[in-house]
Amino acid sequence: MSSAAKGPSPRKGQVALDDTVTGLVRGMAGAGLGLCTAVAIIVAQLLSPAAAWAQGASESGESSQAEAQQEAQDVRRSPSQYDDDEGDHRSYSVGAFSGVMAGGTSLGSSQNLFFRSTFEQGSSGLFGGRIGYALATRLDLDVEFGTGSPGLDVILSDLSGQGRTEFEFADLDSTYVAGSLRYGMVRRSARLVPFLTAGLVVVSLSSSTEPGLDSSSVGALFGAGLLLRLADSLKLRVDARGLRAGGVGDGAPFTDRLNSTQIFWTGGLSYEF
């Protein structure tokens, strides 16, 4: 009873298949077909499902391989990595900035037989622009132009430094052109790039009320700052720098040439391409 519940045995299935094949051969022979032709037709019929399955498996494998290649390409060109690679190969930048030309820095002093005059630069707004060129992965050359009108204050005292009196001495316009090297602490493609900068500067001072202040001199510009990426090619730059140049003032009331000292606090946008 239990064996009957298990269905047809493998032996009976094989006998049925043999009977079917034998019947097909006899039918084809009766129809005038040769034995070889009959065998070829039967083999083709038996192999056609296997061929169709193999073709489907091959197409499925090719599709999976194509999808895997596309996924690998997408990973290699993911937005962050793509931007990083592109950021390292951008060669130029242009930008504008504004800020403060800080005052309270001493230009120097002069004295006569009666009193000593100490000159201090005032404070004003600062505006300018710059262009940059990438020399290496972390090294850039910046050329910039800036201008401000800080004015000039004087502190009068006796020769011992007592009895100090301060007042505005003259208007003073300061214009400079600088070429600086900027070294990034990380690759320029990073979102936040701290940097150091230093270079040479030519400063021109002029005054409509005190011609003795009109002069040009060469000095140094140095400082540090941060670059923050806002978009793919747009960055925010903030920095603090000091400028030191000599040779200010050629005539009266100065007995000695003074030194120009300025502190810059600036922020601006930079576009890279």
pLDDT 10s digits, 60-80: 666 667 666 766 565 454 444
- pLDDT value of position 111: 75
Nearest to 100 by CA among 260, 265, 224: 265
**Integer Cα distance of 257 and 77 in angstroms:** 60
pLDDT given for residue 77 in this prediction: 45
Max Cα distance, the chain (Å): 144
pLDDT at 57: 57
What's the pLDDT at 158?
A: 79
Q: What is the pLDDT of residue 163?
A: 72
The ranges of the chain with pLDDT < 70 are: 1-64, 66-68, 70-89, 104-107, 161, 247-259
Residue 37, SS3 per DSSP: helix
Q: Hunting for tokens 């720098």 — which residue is that?
A: 241
User: Tell me: the pLDDT tens digits for 12-49?
Assistant: 555 555 565 566 556 555 555 555 565 556 555 555 55
Secondary structure of residue 176 in the 3-state scheme: strand
